[in-house]
Amino acid sequence: MDCLFCSIAKKEIPSAAVYEDDEIFAFRDINPQAPVHVLVIPKKHIAGMDEVTAENSDVISKIFEKIPEIAKKEKLDNGFRVISNCGEDGCQSVRHLHFHILGGKKLDEKMC
Ligand code: DGP
């Protein structure tokens, strides 16, 4: 399967890694929309939030356990935002599930 974020997780395409373990990879967004903009992905391909099921959701809870640790490491002590765009209406441009961690400044109140 030709998937950009699978290739990034396998290091076939370089990225600025922030965190890695057997199941999760976190790296800096190539087009940052805040002073800190990190993407957190499961290494195993899940296309998006619309494909999360009871069978594959274990890694999602692991990602959500890891996000506060990443935020702390990135010094986002004053808060941050986590976003997962899904599908066409959600403006998901890469069909590999990812969570944006945004912070390092006061973010816009408007979310859409
Ligand atoms: P979304 O629009 O929610 O699907 O977010 C995809 C994000 O992925 C977008 O903010 C830009 C980022 N991105 C796209 N291609 C690359 C890449 O090759 N490397 C990195 N580090 N980020 C990428």
pTM above 0.95, yes or no: yes
> Is the C-alpha dihedral spanning 17, 74, 80, 21 positive or negative?
positive
Q: Is residue 105 predicted with pLDDT exceeding 90?
A: yes
- Cα-Cα-Cα-Cα torsion 101, 104, 106, 109, nearest 10 degrees, comes to -10
Strand arrangement of the beta sheet that strand 99-103 belongs to: 17-20, 24-28, 36-42, 99-103, 80-83
Structure confidence by residue, pLDDT tens digits, 12-54: 999 999 999 999 999 999 999 999 999 999 999 999 999 999 9
**pLDDT tier at 1 (50, 70, 90 boundaries)?**
confident
The alpha carbon of 32 and the centre of ligand 1 are apart by a number of angstroms equal to 9
Question: Is residue 94 within 6 Å of ligand 1 at its C-beta?
Answer: yes
Question: Is residue 84 within 6 Å of ligand 1 at its C-beta?
Answer: no
The alpha carbon of 31 and the centre of ligand 1 are apart by a number of angstroms equal to 7
Domain 4-103, CATH class in plain words = alpha beta
Q: Which amino acid is at 50?
A: D
Structure confidence by residue, pLDDT tens digits, 63-101: 999 999 999 999 999 999 999 999 999 999 999 999 999
Helix (H, G, I), strand (E, B) or coil at 17: strand
Is 100 in the active site?
Answer: no
Q: 64 is written with which tokens?
A: 């959500």
